[in-house]
Structure 1
Amino acid sequence: MGATPLAAFLSLALPADMLTTAQGRRWVERFFTGLRALAHRHKVPLAGGDTSESPRETRDANGLILADIVLIGLVPTGKALRRSKARPGDAIYVTGHLGGSAAELAKLLKQQKPAQTKSTRDHPHLYPEPRIAQGRALLTRNLATACIDISDGLSTDLAHICRASGTHAEIDQSALPIHPQARKLTPEAALHAALHGGEDYELLFTAPATTRIPKSIARVPITRIGRLTPKRPATPLLTLITPNSARTPLKPSGWQHFTPPGRQNR
Structure 2
Amino acid sequence: MNKQHHQGERKFIQSVRTRAGRAGGPLRVGIGDDAAVLRPKGKSEIVVTTDFSLENTHFRRDWHPAKAAGHRCLARGLSDLAAMGARPMGVFLSLALPVGTMDKAPGRKWVDNFLEGVLELAKASGVKLGGGDTATAPGKEILADIVLLGSVPRGKALLRSGAKVGDGIYVTGTLGAAAVELEVLSDDPKKFTRAKVTDKDGHPHLFPKPRLNVGRALIRRAGTSKINSAIDLSDGLSTDLAHLCAESGVAAIIDAKLIPLGGTLLHALHGGEDYELLFTGKKVPKQIAGVKVTRIGKIQKAKKNQPPVVIRMPDGSETPLLARGWEHQI
Check whether TM > 0.5. yes
The amino acid that maps onto 1:241 is R
Deviation, 1:37, is 0.7
RMSD: 1.2
Q: Does 1:123 align with 2:200?
A: no
Instruction: Output the CA distance in 2 between the equivalents of 1:23 and 1:220.
Output: 39
The amino acid that maps onto 2:250 is T
The amino acid that maps onto 2:156 is K
Instruction: Output the CA distance in 2 between the equivalents of 1:256 and 1:25.
Output: 32
Comparing 66-75 with 139-148, which one deviates more in the overlay? 139-148
Deviation, 1:114, is 4.4
Q: Does 1:76 align with 2:153?
A: yes
Off by >3 Å, runs of 4+ in structure 1: none
Q: Does 1:198 align with 2:233?
A: no
The amino acid that maps onto 2:320 is P
**Aligned pairs for 1:108-119 within 5 A:** 108-115=185-192, 116=195, 117-119=197-199
Report the equivalent of 2:167: 90
Deviation, 1:121, is 6.4
Instruction: Output the CA distance in 1 between the equivalents of 2:243 and 2:180.
Output: 23
SS in 2 for 1:146: strand
Instruction: Output the CA distance in 1 between the equivalents of 2:176 and 2:236.
Output: 9
Q: Does 1:24 align with 2:107?
A: yes
Aligned length: 241
> Percentage identity across aligned positions?
50
Instruction: Output the CA distance in 2 between the equivalents of 1:120 and 1:46.
Output: 22
Instruction: Output the CA distance in 2 between the equivalents of 1:102 and 1:55.
Output: 30
Q: Does 1:35 align with 2:109?
A: no
Deviation, 1:74, is 0.3
Report the equivalent of 1:103: 180
Instruction: Output the CA distance in 2 between the equivalents of 1:122 and 1:20.
Output: 34
Query: Of 316, 324, 328, which residue of structure 2 is paired with 1:245?
Result: 316
The amino acid that maps onto 1:200 is D
SS in 1 for 2:162: coil
Name stretches of at least 5 consecutive residues in structure 2 with no aligned partner: 1-83
Instruction: Output the CA distance in 1 between the equivalents of 2:93 and 2:191.
Output: 25
Instruction: Output the CA distance in 2 between the equivalents of 1:37 and 1:123.
Output: 16
SS in 1 for 2:247: helix
Q: Does 1:220 align with 2:291?
A: yes
Name stretches of at least 5 consecutive residues in structure 1 with no aligned partner: 57-62, 183-189, 261-266
Q: Does 1:229 align with 2:300?
A: yes
TM-score by length of 2: 0.71
Instruction: Output the CA distance in 2 between the equivalents of 1:112 and 1:44.
Output: 32
Q: Relative contact order, CA 8 A, sep 6+: which one is greater?
A: 1
